[in-house]
Amino acid sequence: MFCLWCHEEIIPDITWKNVFQFFGKDRKLCEDCQQKLPYIEGPVCPTCSKPTEHGEVCRDCRTWTSHPTLGESLIQNVSVFSYTPFMKDIMAKWKYRGDYELVNMFKAGMEKRFKDNFHKQVLTLVPIPLSKTREQERGFNQAEALAGLLGLPMIHALARVRNEKQAKKSRAERLQSKNPFQLKHRMDTPVLLIDDLYTTGTTLHWAAFLLKSAGCPKVYSFTLIRS
Amino acid sequence: MNPQTKKTPMSPLTPEDPLYSIASFCEAQLLLRQELPLTDKNFEELQLMNYLQETPGIEESFTGYVCKRCGNRKNHWFGKIPQKPSPIVYCRKCIEMGRVSSFEALYRWTGPQTQSPRIENPCHWDGRLTKFQRNCSQRILEAMTTREPLLVWAVCGAGKTEMLFEGLTAAISRGDRICLATPRADVVRELVPRFHRAFPEVTISALYGGSEEKMEGAQFIIATTHQLLRYEEAFDVMIIDEVDAFPYHADQSLSFASERARKPSSSLVYLTATPRKWLKWKAKLKLIPTVFVPARYHGYPLPTPRFVSTYRLSKTLEKDILPPSIRSWIQGKTKQQRRFLLFTPTIEIAHKLAKITKIECVDAKDPDRIDKINRYRNGERNALITTTILERGVTFPSIDVAVIDAGHKVFDEAALVQIAGRAGRNADDPDGDVIFFHQGRTNAIIGAKKMISMMNRLARRK
């Protein structure tokens, strides 16, 4: 096996356990790269996973709750990693260069965080969609790729109508933007939205609002990165 | 290559032709759709005219896949994107240059070609060559004219760049396309101004990861070997600098690239100071014509390294103190106001030393790498700690060199000879001090000293 990120060869230790396990789990990352992934630990904001000093609700979320329309729609966001320079490099290669295979780097972290937070609930995964043209350019939808790691039922309930790049906008611009989604399927079971980044949370709040107003009982979100 | 891609005899384009700019941009290259500066309409038109030919990016062979850009065949370097009806296969090896996949084809220009201008007497260099250099320069000129391969085995500081000038002058006045490939971006950045000064009328383009200029149809390209992956049958004269250097000798795709980038009838000149075994053998068996330059351009011998044992290096560094031998060497140099380079085997040791000695350090990942090297070159700093990135191809006029932990595995014989070759490159100050601090002499350390002594002996004899 070779490390997905640095391409160093991984030579696994031979133990009694894996000698007999011919089809055991392959390691996707070498020890060094695994260490560098910034898994969020310690106290975080209970509603959006942003690291806070004593685990109190962060300022972003306090502003969200007072939002007139979108305030109550998203119950909680859980994120796996924080946005370090290393993570930025990975995202650039994965999303913008289009190196799809890198999604497997996140598998262990995604599974662990999911088990710790959502194992009790029965949730349907809804990946945040990309616009048609962007998906064609890239060849894949990163949210769908992430949702695929969890191996749970997935429904494409949303479609994107407006084709705007979030990354190029300022915070104020993002908060003022209009609903970028359209509903394709009504959901009547609890939903877990999947996306790659939670920055201001605008995208996820709009998606949650749309699902909720169409009768969805509960909407959570699960994102790879809280930046 | 399939027969349709043979270039049809069309008269070369003149610069006034509307197709000139696009032809000079993409001829003799394999480019992705997004690399072509064309609107969809123009793109389709050119395809209909058969001026742009589409070729699959990934081919399936019976052993697996082949990337048509970088030649990668290793299955673990291919990725799959699930999609209906069949997954997209893409190459992960060259993905930094844009993704090549079974759905993203490569395009080659098959329309009329452009012709580089023929410039008479392009060389404005007025230095003089030594006896050794003249002989070598003559051989290079012959090889470039008769389109033959040549190995130039010349010691560090023999003046390899200047020996190329005569051959290049002839090549430029023939209107040849020339490529000089070198393994490191630092070397590209250093060579470009030197060639600019020597050939001011020639369009020279520098290509390396992160370089901005991409001059269309430049006659002379100085590039890192990775950048050659886009070219196909482009050059009449191909010069490969430092063939023995990592990553050229370690990465097969680079020799594949340099082979594909030159025209079938083209001259191939290898330059090296420390050829690896296979090249030495080829030279010995006369499979490749070889010219040997044992003396430096100023005629003084290469500085021979001294060895000083410094045991328990990592233990001492852990306590944030310098081993006494290294400390006294640095103090001595500072007192004599000598400029020096300290080579370390790893980035960690480089940082550690920088912390203890308060000397600036550079490594490959350093974002300010270019600035720091420039500051040292301009004389704003008198010392620099570096990893092996400055081991070859760079010239600082009169410096001393120390290698910390010379027995480390990154310092092979070639690397140590190259490092020793950084010292004493100036005719006014030909004796540099080269010192290897080691924890037990390795074969590489002894081999390096032997090689340097052998070169000096040969130079004296001739």
Please give the full DSSP string across B240-276, using - where no structure is assigned: EE-TTSTTTTT-HHHHHHHHHHEEEEEEEEEEESS--
pLDDT at A166: 65
Distance CA B375, CA B369 (A): 10
Q: What is the CATH superfamily name and number for domain B306-461?
A: P-loop containing nucleotide triphosphate hydrolases (3.40.50.300)
pLDDT at B13: 81
Interface test with B, best of A99, A136, A138, A144 (most B CBs within 10 A): A99
B74, B80 Cβ separation under 8 angstroms = no
pLDDT at B212: 67
**Residue B165 belongs to what H/E stretch?**
helix B160-174
Q: What is the DSSP letter of B342?
A: E
- Asked if the domains B131-293 and B306-461 are classified in one and the same CATH topology, the answer is yes
Distance CA B343, CA B389 (A): 9
pLDDT at A129: 93
Extents of the domains making up chain B: 3-109, 131-293, 306-461
Task: Tell me how close the Cα of A98 comes to any Cα of chain B, in angstroms.
Answer: 7
Distance CA B334, CA B249 (A): 38
Distance CA B226, CA B250 (A): 13
Query: Would you call B72 an interface residue with chain A, using a CB distance cutoff of 8 Å?
Result: no
Contact list in B for residue A8 (CB cut-off 8 A) is none
Please name the residue of chain A whose CA is at the shortest distance from the CA of residue B95.
A97
B448 Cβ contact partners less than 8 Å away, ≥ 6 residues apart:
B305, B413, B416, B417, B420
Structure confidence by residue, pLDDT tens digits, A168-227:
777 777 666 678 888 998 999 999 999 999 998 888 999 999 999 999 999 999 999 998
List residues of A whose CB lies inside 8 A of any B CB.
2, 93, 97-101, 139-140, 148
pLDDT at B425: 86
Distance CA B30, CA B256 (A): 14
pLDDT at B2: 44
Instruction: Give A67's pLDDT tier (boundaries 50, 70, 90).
Output: confident
Where, residue-wise, is CATH 3.40.50 in chain A? 38-226
Distance CA A110, CA A223 (A): 9
CATH class held by domain A38-226: alpha beta
Return the axis-axis angle of helices B413-420 and B443-461, rounded to nearest 10°: 50
Please name the residue of chain B whose CA is at the shortest distance from the CA of residue A89.
B96
Structure confidence by residue, pLDDT tens digits, A139-162:
899 999 999 999 899 999 999 886
Q: Please name the member of A99, A101, A139 whose beta carbon is closest to the beta carbon of B83.
A: A139
Contact list in A for residue B101 (CB cut-off 8 A) is 139
Task: Tell me how close the Cα of A126 comes to any Cα of chain B, in angstroms.
Answer: 18
pLDDT at A84: 93
The pLDDT averaged over each successive group of 10 residues in chain B (462 residues) is 48 81 87 90 92 93 90 91 90 92 92 86 88 92 94 89 93 93 87 92 87 74 89 93 77 85 93 88 91 88 92 88 91 92 92 90 87 89 90 84 92 91 87 92 93 90 76
Q: From the centroid of its chain, how far is CA A222?
A: 5
pLDDT at B391: 86
Distance CA B71, CA B154 (A): 31
Domain B131-293 maps to which CATH number in 1.10.10.60, 3.40.50.800, 3.40.50.620, 3.40.50.300?
A: 3.40.50.300
Mean pLDDT of chain B: 88
Is the pLDDT assigned to residue A133 strictly greater than 90?
Answer: no
